[in-house]
Structure 1
């Protein structure tokens, strides 16, 4: 009987969706899985982990916090590490797979600290163009690192890497077979914009995007169909703004049918997290990317820069992301569909098909 595989992933979609994609693949190959996660994640009753054993471990982020809060975070992480160590002793897994962020630290370090007759394989998945703080810490204990970009900064020289790409949900991967069709330069066919802001809907997009949209020329506004993720408290006021400007808009705290909306979008505006970028390139959708400014290693800036250099999108730093700047950019892009078509073609060249299968292959290469 195969020993279980532990997957460590936090509660946010950026880390959890790729973990679920890998879990689905491994389950089809007959592997038993155990999920180790953090306090943000309640028991999974749907999805790939619904029938798997699940453990919530102590832990907290420490980067950028005040000294007292940093100390509390470190103590919480230590508690999680020893908790994971105890569980690993009981489970005796064949491998521990971490998807970054502080929830990966306890299982990966717990696995490296516990030495029995066969130490588990420790594999890190890095979804960004620069190794994140948590992954950087645990990378020295890793058996291997799976990466999503050909060149990833801060990888230790003595740890082998494999380019697998970022696993995405099957509904997103299906978009790779769907061609990008730009809206016409003139006419009355709809121009579809998707604005997503991470797992909670970034406030900056709720403030800047509507103000930018309502100052566009009327001939553009009347063609727009907007789907925008935002926190509930911003929806009423922004819906009124869009309505007054004659703009069709669906404003939602969470987008359930993201694959359907992404597949129809002519342009996407959002952050540049590893999971979001993977979904953009899988669907070959051009994007305006506003990297999260507080990321410890500017991972999102590195991701956005990689896409911009490839011609697949445009990066605007948050300090420069004003309604005036966005209006100017949108007026150019939405009246010259050939620019969007070229960006879509460039984006398609960056996609990594079958990333979950490739990551599963990497894991099994150490097990068999």
Structure 2
């Protein structure tokens, strides 16, 4: 790589929803001959994608977890320390621009970029701007959103906002090339259940009961793949073994894009990355938004796919074994409806988001 090429610093929280779009942009920027590095918190050091350890810089950060004076003081101190570390990083690396992908670990490097007069861009994948990005939005030179209309009501921000979509990593782009094939009415029915990068206990609580309520004729057709937390594994496996369900269970799937493409129906949380990937690949889904979040971002994300006709949104209060069994049974009995949903989901996806975001970053950086 040309060590004199301009450097773009990518800042992201340490979860897949933030890291995967950063990786996708990094791939596109490197394809254009630019250098990239990732600045994040300690969680992402375990990340094994595009960014090797020698391409990662860690800065101090802390998530806002409560309103007590002690918690607020600790968070403020850690973010201030991270900003000082970020300033040192800016002076050492001299990036042409800094791009933030959300999460509190992006706050120190983006504030440091502002203080060092380095151009910055923030990207938000949700239908509602996240708290960290909302705080940074006034300081950024440009804002990129995955979905249209996110900031239309804020005149001060709408003028510097561009809709680009969610950058897709190479594995998703490869999976998107696999066309959807509806299940044969008497053949295998492939069901994938996932709960985000950390898993979701509600899936272990509800899905086994729903499977148990299906007609035995569907048990014989079912090929189930489910993400299950380690602490829930024994009880979930016992139910499927008793029912003689063909089930693969694991706490995490490293090849999730290929699994999304290989299944007829997906039951999932509705994080921004998951919804964007379902749309890019074009797979029908039953989406259960994470309840209790301040911004209700997952509820809004699921609404995008539901309104397009590519998914069903079920609030967690309505997500019962009876309800899920009824939905799975109905969809399994209507392959044509699944095919229509897959097509509708695909119509909501964007495969050129990395290129569009890279164009914006290059423009802001002036390179």
Alignment partner, residue 176 of structure 1: 176
- How many angstroms apart in 2 are the aligned matches of 1:20 and 1:26? 10
Answer whether contact 2:151 2:161 (CA < 8 A) is retained: no
Distance in 2 (alpha carbons) for counterparts of 1:226 and 1:362: 41
Tell me the residue number matched to 1:26.
29
After TM superposition, give the deviation of residue 52 of structure 1 in Å. 4.7
Say whether the 8 Å CA contact 1:193–1:265 is kept in structure 2: yes
- Of 56, 67, 78, which aligns to 2:58? 56
Quote the residue 2:162 is aligned against: 162
Match of 1:100 in 2: 102
* Counterpart Cα distance in 1 of 2:66 and 2:221: 43
Question: What SS class does the counterpart of residue 274 from structure 2 fall into?
Answer: helix
Deviations 1:226-252 (A, max 9, x none): 111111121122112112112110000
2:90 aligned residue:
88
Cα deviation code 1:192-246 (max 9, x no counterpart) = 0111111111111111111111111101111111111111121122112112112
Contact 1:127 1:148 survives alignment (8 Å): yes
Query: What's the Cα RMSD here?
Result: 1.7
| Cα shift at 1:43 | 5.9
Aligned to 1:138: 136
Task: Please give the alpha-carbon distance, in whole angstroms, between the structure 2 residues aligned to 1:207 and 1:213.
Answer: 11
Where do 4+ consecutive residues of structure 1 move more than 6 Å? Answer: none
Post-superposition shift, 1:92? 1.6
Matches within 5 A, 1:253-264: 253-264=251-262
CA contact (8 A) 1:36 1:54 kept: yes
Structure 1 residue 37: Cα displacement? 0.5
Residue by residue over 1:268-298, the C-alpha shift from the partner in whole angstroms, topping out at 9 and shown as x without a partner, is 0111111101110111001111111132311
**Counterparts of 1:1-368 in structure 2 under 5 Å?**
1-42=4-45, 46-50=48-52, 52-64=54-66, 66-114=68-116, 119-153=117-151, 156-159=154-157, 160-185=160-185, 187=186, 189-366=187-364, 367-368=366-367
Listed one character per residue, the Cα deviations across residues 321-357 of structure 1 (whole Å, up to 9, x for unaligned) are 1112211221211111222111111101011012112
3-state DSSP of counterpart to 1:36: strand
Q: How many residue pairs end up in the alignment?
A: 361
Residues 294 and 78 of structure 1: is their aligned pair in 2 closer, same or farther, counting only changes over 3 Å?
Answer: farther
CA contact (8 A) 1:63 1:296 kept: no
In structure 2, the CA distance between the partners of 1:357 and 1:51, relative to structure 1 (3 Å rule), is farther
Query: Normalising to structure 1: TM-score of the pair?
Result: 0.94
Kept in 2, the 8 Å contact 1:126–1:146? The answer is yes
SS of 2:42's equivalent? coil
**Deviation of residue 154 (structure 1)?**
7.3
TM-score, normalization by structure 2: 0.94
Q: Which runs of 5+ in 1 are unaligned?
A: none
Deviations 1:149-190 (A, max 9, x none): 1121477423312221111221211232221111123x1x11
**Runs (5+) with no aligned partner, structure 2:** none
